[in-house]
Amino acid sequence: MKFVDEVTVTVRSGAGGAGAVSFRREANVPKGGPDGGDGGRGGDVVFEADPSKTTLLDLQYQQTYRAADGERGRGNEMAGRSAEALVVRVPVGTLIRDPEDGAVLADLDAPGMRWVAARGGRGGKGNAHFKSARRQAPRFAQPGEPGEERRLRLELRLLADVGLVGFPNAGKSTLISAISTARPKVADYPFTTLVPHLGVVRVGDRTFVAADIPGLIEGAAEGAGLGLRFLKHVERCRLLLHLIDLAEPSAERCLARFDALNAELAKFDPALAAKPQIAVPTKLDVTEAQANLPAVRAALEARGYEVVPISAATRQGLDALLGAVARRLFAAEEAREARRRASGERVTWQP
């Protein structure tokens, strides 16, 4: 399936039904009073986060969504039927913005979350509402309110616990293939990965979600390569695995590329560069890697990084890496839960 993570759509809610102008007409009631019913409410347009959706592809093909109008009122004080809401299902992690100023209108980051994008118009009142001592036979009723229309920009930002970042050919796709059931395309040329891939990784009886973010290059924060399109997918990750290709001509080159990528993250959003990182030197099965590893490890550990070298191709170091990730992720979860229990906080979730 084609991966689409940005789309602009137009939504329009339904108009309210008009109120009815009607008078009682019965054999034994020669001068029946007004009995026009109210119009029904127009349908809302609602976005809902659906875990079964993984792309905004459907919205690219259909970019206009219009809810039904409410029914007109009828005689005998019968109200028109209100229209049902039009529910537009989008992937969990969809951000909805105003296309003019970029303001965030909704962040559907949990399954089942809903946001009303356009509210249906109210139905008009029938002429039965306008009877009075001076006006016993009103021959008018209210029209229904029009619906709302607006344009919206939708952005999908993947929900993952761990983000794999690194320059092209650092081994991200090979790693996510080795630790999960994800099967991205793997080849030895830049930008093999053109879309992010999610993989569920099991460690003991617990799991986490890892995202293979397409390769970044210098200038990514300004839009070079695939940068701006995919940097946003890193924003929701709790932990970054920064893959470093050890098969470079020198250790200095490895470290320079490590620093360059962190600089790109900081340019895009300083909070990205501040996220916890595990440095993951890759390709230990390559001869050059063995020569570069000692200097790279020493330099990164001196800066305070946890360093876990691996070879995804031979699975060397993968158990150590998964153990390090699990300690970081699950220890934080357990600490939060302990604080919650100690404070007596009762946590509920509502869409």
pLDDT values of the chain reduced to their tens digit, one per residue, 351 residues: 455 678 999 999 999 999 999 988 777 766 678 999 999 999 999 999 998 887 888 888 899 999 999 999 998 889 999 999 999 999 888 999 999 998 999 999 888 999 999 999 999 999 988 988 888 889 899 999 999 999 999 988 777 889 888 888 778 888 888 888 655 444 444 444 456 677 888 888 888 888 887 756 554 444 444 445 667 777 788 899 999 999 888 999 999 999 988 888 888 888 888 889 999 999 998 888 889 999 999 999 999 999 999 998 899 999 999 999 999 888 766 776 677 677 765 444 333
pTM of the model: 0.66
Q: What pLDDT shows up at residue 263?
A: 87
Query: Strands, DSSP E only, in 129-255?
Result: 149-156, 162-165, 197-203, 206-212, 239-245
Percentage of the chain beyond pLDDT 70 is 83
DSSP assignment letter at 285: T
Q: What pLDDT shows up at residue 86?
A: 97
H or E segment and range at residue 307:
strand 306-307
Q: Is 305 exposed, middle or buried (0-12, 13-18, 19+ CB in 10 A)?
A: middle
CB–CB of 254/292 below 8 Å?
Answer: yes
Q: What pLDDT shows up at residue 349?
A: 38
CA atoms within 13 A on the CB side of 151: 7
Q: What is the 3-state secondary structure (H, E, C) of 75-87?
A: CCCECCCCCCCEE
Q: What pLDDT shows up at residue 29?
A: 64
- pLDDT tens figures, 318-338: 999 999 999 988 876 677 667
Q: What pLDDT shows up at residue 153?
A: 94
- d(Cα 270, Cα 281) in Å, to the nearest integer? 23
Buried b (16+ CB within 10 A) or exposed e, 196-230: bbbbebebeeeebbbbbbbbbbeebbeeebbbebb
- d(Cα 175, Cα 241) in Å, to the nearest integer? 11
CB–CB of 65/107 below 8 Å?
Answer: no
